[in-house]
């Protein structure tokens, strides 16, 4: 039976910040019996590499935690990166990193899983591994160490952490994590015939078995001479796939939700119920990685959402519910949902908020629908304030819609508006920045006109654009940090309205984000050196020091501008080319060209499709399943603004294409097709059949499933 570190942990709590974050035992946390520890078929630590305060609020972590612990013979415990005072105390006392449930050493588990939500937590990944007393470099670990996996957005540009993470799991984890954990745990068991697998054997087995698992140590990276650009990855073994797929939960209605989330008893950034109403966004904003890598759009029904909210409310007692998604205004039944939520929760004095509203004319209806709930804030993310820049980023919004929505919100009692803007977008001009300040001022004063009361408080958060993998701007250089700082200070001076508060993301932090977001494995020595010099909690201004990073890079002969500000050539290999997670390179490049020509790409709603690289058959099957397309209507794959139809494989044709069934009888629902596809995925995994070529990477599970549609 493993031994709890709780007595040793207790000794450290006197004198550290916020000690409650280290003791666990929260409402809805799950503590499985240590007496049956040996009988468990898989043990995993879920880690958000930031403080408890930040990590415990992450909905994805809560979903996986509940999902794993709902399986009787599996266990998931949590850990977060200890704050520096605690980390120092642990090192001094010789206490290794522990979990919050049973206070066990992290090394007692089969798998340690990180969720990578921002590059500024990468130094914490190293800090966490080090505190767990696991070698930083994957190649120095033995079979006794847990397998370290990483998912989340960072797993879509994994090369920068390739030397530290054993396995990346890009995409959705809901359907992949349980089979993966069982697979790993079974091969690590000491009582299996022949004993546990060696680490190298196990990693090889993972790489050739799971089409959605990227195992960096199974690939050799090539670079141009003289420390030139990245040239690509080559599998070390013939049975390791060249292309790794991102996992996708197609049947989103049935995907697990966190209806029993852990209720923190220490401070957390989000003390409320979070309900994910849909996943994916096909608006096609050219800066937005989340929108590109989560395609296709998948929805839950109003009934499921209201029931889940009710169940979660009963299990937590929270008095506030947030409906989350990338663009909640695009949820097809948003009015019905708000009405139903209002009917159910207004009498209970539970507020309902929508933090991700896309701005359209329709949006002005929403404040009235939210009548009666507490006015917990109205947030808009216009991103840019001029029409020209909107065409460049492909964000189809109008200032008049923001104005109308703000006016409706003021009329319904809101007195505060939050706006999100970005600077540093390729093609940006001075007039674009001026427009941000002037428009915020106008919106503030609009409340006086609408209500006769004082100007509204308008909080404007201005981030710096950081090009990421899998967006049309992935080839572009990021704006120099000194220029960013000048622009920020110019905008600050321009603002004369005391009710308008401009808050800028730190230009140096954005620069580090830019380096790490498109890095390759040659950055590893720089990360180790920065860690050695004390880098941790880089997302926290009190701990972040760019000079420490620049000195570390310098000591390792790394030029950070090669990664952050350099523009890439069209044919340059990118360190994420081996991942197939949706949008194709051709599609992204064509979108970049359209950005330069200020040409919009229409939202692929209804029957319109731009053949982005996601299987259109899947998108349309999902839309039909949800009643968003008539069952008998054949969707037209109409293409870009030029009227040219590119066709499924990127071949130009002059006629629109239609979907039709590949076998007698159309796919009845996406759920059926997706089920078949997922069965295929499972079979693929169990049969150890890798996806082995570029060509097959674009073939989709759905198109191979019996009865699935295909594009002809």
Residues that bind ligand SF4 (CB under 6 A): 282, 295-296, 604, 609-612, 614, 616, 619
| Beta pairing partners, 214 | 168
Between 144 and 641, whose beta carbon lies closer to ligand SF4?
641
Helix (H) or strand (E) holding 695: helix 694-698
Alpha-carbon distance of 371 to 704, in angstroms, equals 48
Q: Whole-number minimum distance, CB 397 to ligand SF4, in Å?
A: 19
Closest approach of ligand SF4 to the CB of residue 607, in Å: 9
* Closer CB to ligand SF4, 159 or 396, in the complex: 396
In the complex, least distance from residue 195 CB atom to ligand SF4, rounded to whole angstroms: 47
Q: Cβ(381)–Cβ(397) under 8 Å? A: no
597: CB partners within 8 A, 6+ apart: none
Q: Report in angstroms how near the CB of residue 629 gets to ligand SF4 at its nearest.
A: 11
Does residue 173 contact residue 247 with C-beta atoms inside 8 Å? yes
Alpha carbons 101 and 635: distance in angstroms, whole number: 50
* Smallest separation (angstroms) from ligand SF4 to the CB of 242: 23
Beta strands in 441-572 (DSSP E): 457-464, 500-504
CA atoms within 13 A on the CB side of 72: 2
Q: 43 CB contacts (<8 Å, ≥6 apart)?
A: 37, 74, 75, 77, 108, 109, 110, 111, 185
Strand boundaries in 81-200, DSSP class E: 111-115, 147-151, 167-168
Q: At its nearest, how many Å lie between ligand SF4 and the CB of residue 57?
A: 29
Of 31, 36, 177, 22, the residue nearest 97 (C-alpha): 22
- Of 268 and 700, nearer to ligand SF4 (C-beta) is 700
Residue 112: CB minimum distance to ligand SF4, A: 34
Query: Closer to ligand SF4 at the Cβ: 354 or 612?
Result: 612
CB of 582 to ligand SF4, least distance (A): 8
Instruction: Report residue 130 as tokens.
Output: 């080090």
In sequence order, the β-bridge partners of residue 43 are 75
Angle (nearest 5°) at CA 711 between 647 and 469: 60
User: Is 419 or 604 the residue whose CB approaches ligand SF4 more closely?
Assistant: 604
Select 113 or 666, whichever has its Cβ closest to ligand SF4: 666
**Where on the phi/psi map is residue 627: left (φ > 0), alpha (ψ -120 to 50), or beta?**
left
Q: Which is nearer to ligand SF4, 97 or 612 (CB)?
A: 612
User: What stretches of 374-429 show up as alpha helix (H) in DSSP?
Assistant: 387-393, 399-411
Nearer to ligand SF4, 157 or 282 (CB): 282
Which CB, 479 or 604, lies closer to ligand SF4?
Answer: 604
292 vs 370: CA distance, rounded Å: 30
Shortest Cβ 360–ligand SF4 spacing (Å): 18
Output 467 or 583, the one with its CB closest to ligand SF4.
583
Nearer Cβ to ligand SF4, position 364 or 590? 590
Q: What distance in Å separates the CA atoms of residue 404 and residue 163, rounded to the nearest whole number?
A: 51
State the nearest-atom distance from the C-beta of 286 to ligand SF4, in Å: 14
What whole-number distance in Å separates Cα of residue 425 and Cα of residue 404?
26
Nearest partner of 272 among 303, 317, 337, judged by Cα: 317
Q: Is 290 helix (H, G, I), strand (E, B) or coil?
A: helix
**Residue 176 Cβ, how far from ligand SF4 at the closest point, in Å?**
21
Task: Please state the closest distance from residue 168 (CB atom) to ligand SF4, in A.
Answer: 23
> Judged by CB, which is closer to ligand SF4: 451, or 638?
638
Q: Distance (Å, rounded) from C-alpha 324 to C-alpha 355?
A: 7
| Beta bridge mates, 98 | 105
Question: Which tokens in the block code for residue 146?
Answer: 């847990």
- How many angstroms separate the Cα of 698 from the Cα of each of 246, 277, 575, 580, 650? 12, 28, 18, 8, 11
CB atoms within 10 A of CB 191: 7
Q: What is the nearest approach in angstroms of ligand SF4 to the Cβ of residue 614? A: 4
Smaller CB distance to ligand SF4: residue 56 or 709?
A: 709
């Amino acid at each position: 039976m493993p031994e709890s570190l709780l007595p040793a942990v207790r000794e450290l709590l006197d004198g550290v910040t916020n000690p409650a974050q280290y003791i666990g035992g929260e409402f809805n946390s799950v503590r499985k019996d240590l007496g049956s520890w040996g009988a468990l078929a898989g043990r995993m630590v879920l880690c958000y590499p930031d403080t408890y305060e930040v990590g415990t609020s992450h909905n994805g972590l809560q979903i996986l935690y509940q999902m794993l612990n709902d399986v009787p013979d599996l266990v998931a415990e949590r850990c977060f990166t200890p704050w520096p005072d605690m980390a120092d105390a642990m090192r001094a006392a010789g206490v290794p990193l522990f979990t919050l449930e049973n206070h066990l050493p992290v090394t007692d588990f089969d798998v340690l899983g990180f969720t990578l939500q921002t590059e500024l937590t990468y130094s914490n990944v190293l800090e966490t591994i080090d505190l767990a007393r696991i070698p930083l470099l994957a190649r120095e670990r033995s079979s006794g160490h847990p397998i370290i996996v990483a998912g989340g957005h960072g797993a879509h540009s994994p090369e920068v952490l390739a030397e530290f993470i054993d396995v990346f799991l890009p995409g959705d984890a809901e359907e992949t994590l349980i089979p993966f954990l069982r697979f790993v745990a079974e091969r690590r068991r000491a009582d299996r015939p022949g004993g546990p697998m060696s680490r190298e054997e196990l990693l090889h087995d993972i790489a050739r078995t799971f089409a959605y698992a990227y195992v960096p140590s199974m690939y050799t990276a090539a670079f141009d001479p003289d420390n030139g650009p990245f040239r690509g990855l080559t599998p070390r073994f013939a049975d390791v796939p060249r292309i790794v797929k991102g996992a996708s939960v197609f049947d989103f209605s049935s995907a697990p939700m966190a209806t029993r989330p852990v209720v923190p008893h220490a401070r957390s950034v989000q003390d409320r119920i979070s309900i994910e109403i849909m996943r994916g966004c096909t608006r096609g904003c050219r800066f937005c990685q989340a929108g590109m890598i989560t395609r296709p759009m998948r929805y839950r029904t109003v009934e499921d959402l209201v029931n889940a909210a009710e169940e979660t409310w009963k299990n937590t007692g929270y008095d506030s519910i947030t409906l989350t998604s990338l663009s909640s205004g695009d949820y097809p039944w948003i009015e019905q949902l708000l009405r139903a939520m209002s009917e159910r929760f207004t009498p209970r004095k539970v507020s309902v908020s929508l933090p991700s509203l896309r701005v359209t004319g329709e949006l002005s209806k929403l404040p009235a629908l939210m009548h009666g709930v507490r006015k917990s804030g109205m947030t808009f993310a216009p991103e840019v304030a001029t029409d020209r820049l909107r065409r460049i980023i492909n964000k189809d919004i109008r200032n008049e819609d923001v104005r109308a929505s703000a006016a409706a919100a003021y009329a319904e009692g809101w007195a505060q508006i939050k706006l999100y803007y970005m600077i540093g977008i390729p093609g940006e001009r001075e007039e674009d920045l001026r427009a941000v300040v002037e428009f915020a001022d106008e919106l503030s004063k609009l409340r006086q006109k609408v209500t006769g009361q004082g100007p509204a408080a308008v909080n404007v958060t201005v981030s710096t654009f950081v090009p990421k993998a899998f967006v049309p701007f992935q080839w572009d250089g990021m704006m120099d940090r000194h220029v960013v700082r000048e622009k920020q200070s110019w905008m600050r001076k321009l603002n004369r309205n005391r009710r308008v508060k401009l808050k800028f993301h730190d230009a140096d932090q954005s620069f580090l984000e830019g380096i790490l977001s498109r890095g390759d494995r040659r950055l590893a020595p720089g990360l180790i050196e920065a860690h050695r010099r004390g880098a941790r909690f880089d997302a926290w201004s009190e701990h972040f020091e760019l000079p420490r990073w620049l000195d570390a890079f310098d000591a390792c002969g790394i030029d950070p501008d090669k990664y952050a500000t350099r523009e890439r050539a069209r044919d340059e290999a990118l360190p994420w080319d081996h991942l197939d997670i949706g949008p194709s390179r051709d599609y992204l490049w064509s979108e970049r060209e359209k950005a330069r020509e200020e040409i919009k790409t229409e939202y692929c709603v209804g029957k319109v499709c731009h053949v982005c690289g996601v299987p259109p058959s899947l998108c349309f099957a999902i839309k039909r399943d949800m009643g968003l397309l008539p069952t008998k209507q054949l969707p037209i794959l109409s293409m870009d603004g030029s009227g040219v139809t590119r066709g499924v494989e990127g071949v130009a044709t002059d006629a629109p294409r239609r979907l039709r069934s590949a076998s007698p009888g159309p796919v009845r629902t996406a759920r059926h097709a997706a089920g078949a596809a997922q069965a295929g995925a499972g079979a693929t995994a169990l049969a150890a059949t890798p996806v082995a070529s570029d060509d097959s990477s674009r073939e989709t599970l759905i198109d191979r499933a019996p009865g699935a549609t295909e594009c002809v």
